[in-house]
Chains A and B, each alone.
Chain A
Amino acid sequence: SAVISQKPSRDICQRGTSLTIQCQVDSQVTMMFWYRQQPGQSLTLIATANQGSEATYESGFVIDKFPISRPNLTFSTLTVSNMSPEDSSIYLCSVGSGALTDTQYFGPGTRLTVL
């Protein structure tokens, strides 16, 4: 499976600021996904990022709050904008793999705390 890294691994931010999370893969992938995992909870899909097209957002998530970039087949960023304490969570990227690209492998996650 692909080697996936995320930066930063953790951060503590002030409310009202923005944080950009990077996801890097060691091979070209078509499908990249961004998830949020609140403490003790399951994984919630924020959006799907395909190279060369606009990200597709899930219900409850909007581009103004979570802008996503996908400049090439190995890299994506997620920005958490105008943060509030409710945004404190773990943010994970994943990549779709396999012939059908539905097998997903996860990055190590970014633990965000908003004060």
Chain B
Amino acid sequence: GENVEQHPSTLSVQEGDSAVIKCTYSDSASNYFPWYKQELGKRPQLIIDIRSNVGEKKDQRIAVTLNKTAKHFSLHITETQPEDSAVYFCAATALSGGYNKLIFGAGTRLAVHP
């Protein structure tokens, strides 16, 4: 079945450094790739997404890149701040019964140290 692998499972960086989280998907028909940030005790929050017709998308300190050939996509956070500390989930679409559902990666726990 469809699968999304996410690495690393934990990531620790110093404030101001960059952080990169990578995901690989199995379904070549996947065409939408969102990233969610989940703070402790809170709901997952959509922070950025990319569609398969685009190779890169940027929003301030956050960027996502997509390599359709290799079936992987990455989240890049620059100039990290302590408030970036959270669990980040990638996801990819899978077609099911005429609509798209999301398959989530296992998550990456990011810790940004002051």
A binding-site residues for B, Cβ under 8 Å:
1, 31, 33, 41-45, 48, 50, 56, 59, 92, 96, 100-109
B96 at the interface (CB under 8 A from A): yes
Which residue on chain A has the smallest CB distance to residue B105? A42
List of 5 A-B pairs having minimum Cβ-Cβ separation, nearest first: A102-B100, A106-B43, A43-B104, A42-B104, A102-B32
Query: What is the predominant secondary structure among interface residues of chain B facing chain A?
Result: strand
23 A-B pairs in the complex with CB atoms less than 8 angstroms apart: A1-B46, A31-B99, A33-B101, A33-B102, A41-B106, A42-B89, A42-B105, A42-B106, A42-B107, A43-B44, A48-B101, A50-B99, A56-B97, A59-B1, A92-B43, A100-B100, A102-B100, A102-B102, A103-B32, A104-B34, A106-B44, A107-B43, A109-B43
Of the candidates A44, A50, A59, A104, the one having the most CB atoms from chain B within 10 angstroms of its own CB is A104
B binding-site residues for A, Cβ under 8 Å:
1, 32, 34, 36, 42-46, 49, 89, 93, 96-97, 99-107
